Amino acid sequence: MEPSTMNTIVVSLLTWITAHTNYPMPDQIPVVVLAPHAYIEQLVCGEPCEALGAYADGNVIYIDEILDVNRNVCAKSVLLHEIIHYLQDKNERFIDIPPVVREMYREYEAYGVQKIFLRESGRIVTFDRNIRLGAFMGPTC
């Protein structure tokens, strides 16, 4: 995928997020890197797992290269989820909460916004923060 296409997708998701949350449009958009699944697994889990995206601080979001974020709304929602984490960091969201609780809040918020995005895109989803979206990448989404 051309970088300009990915940037267009990121800006459209940021626009949607700012319209549906209290997050302002950031001064800088994150860089999205399409990466092999094994790399995502190492970043997120340190072992084989179903993770499809990762944001590990900074300005880079990693998305599993098998995802077609240009055409598949479920794949696009994985990117949206990681963008939420990017915005949480840029806006110091949950910064005053103990780390173990902070991670739970971060995921709860990201999954909540992702669920709204999928519903507005015509997808009926019933996942919560304990269910990875990887299970939804099949015919149901």
Q: Does 75 reside within a domain?
A: yes
Tell me the pLDDT band of 140, cut-offs 50, 70 and 90.
Answer: very low
Q: Which structural domain range is residue 18 located in? A: 3-136
Q: What is the pLDDT of residues 43-95, one digit of tens each?
A: 999 999 989 999 988 899 999 999 999 999 999 999 999 999 999 999 999 99
Which amino acid type is present at position 100?
A: V
**pLDDT at residue 15 is higher than 90:** yes
Q: Does 141 reside within a domain?
A: no
Which tokens belong to 73? 């709304």
Phi–psi pair at 34, nearest 5 degrees: -80, 125
Query: What pLDDT, on the 0 to 100 scale, is given for residue 122?
Result: 87
Q: Does 58 reside within a domain?
A: yes
Answering whether pTM is above 0.85, one says: yes
Query: What pLDDT, on the 0 to 100 scale, is given for residue 81?
Result: 97
Q: Scan for tokens 């598949």, then name that residue.
A: 72
Q: Does 68 reside within a domain?
A: yes
User: Degrees (nearest 5) of the Cα angle 20, 53, 96?
Assistant: 60
As for how many domains the chain has, the answer is 1
